[in-house]
Amino acid sequence: MPVIEGLDADAARREQASLIALLCVVVDDGASVGFLPPLAADEAREYWEGVAVAVKGGGRLLWVARHGGAIVGTVQLDLEKRANGDHRAELIKLMVHPAGRRRGVGRALMLAAQDEARRRGRRTLVLDTRQGDPSEDLYRSLGWTFVGAIPRYARSANGEMHATALYYLLLDQ
């Protein structure tokens, strides 16, 4: 079972090399997380620096999953700051190392994010994912509801256009 750990901005910077390696391997393996393969380490570094800034600013939460001390997954929760949306958050960038998939890592990360959202009074959660990806099975198994899909939303390395599937989860009081 993975160990789930929340990271503050300083910890995210200390773990930056591991986070860069994880992002590069999942993108190069075909994950649709906003980047195209092959992902350069400099681009991944810039991304994770931006995450650390967002975490430090209080608008984002970051978790990692560890197995044997190594980071094997991560997820983030963007907290809406506008007054009319301070009850909601967006779950973003769920990533699991290819060698760690189908072992409960993604589920443990999702549950950690959902629990913290609930603790912070965030009752409406949203996410999007490439339609047809195995992650959809995970989201549905955790009670997320499919809303619909936007066609031709994301492009893959070979130029193929993919739909994104939109989901929401209403957390109990």
Give residue-wise pLDDT tens across range 34-78.
Answer: 999 999 999 999 999 999 999 999 999 999 999 999 999 999 999
Residue type, 79: L
Structural domains in the chain? 3-122 (3.40.630.30)
Locate all alpha helices (DSSP H) within 78-157, ordered by sequence.
105-119, 135-141
Percent of the chain that is helix, strand, coil (3-state, to 5) = 35, 35, 30
Contact between 61 and 113 under an 8 Å Cβ cutoff? The reply is yes
The whole-angstrom separation of Cα 89 and Cα 125 is 5
Question: Strand pairing of 70-79 and 60-67?
Answer: antiparallel
Read off the pLDDT of residues 68-114 as tens digits, 9 standing for 90 and up.
999 999 999 999 999 999 999 999 999 999 998 999 999 999 999 99
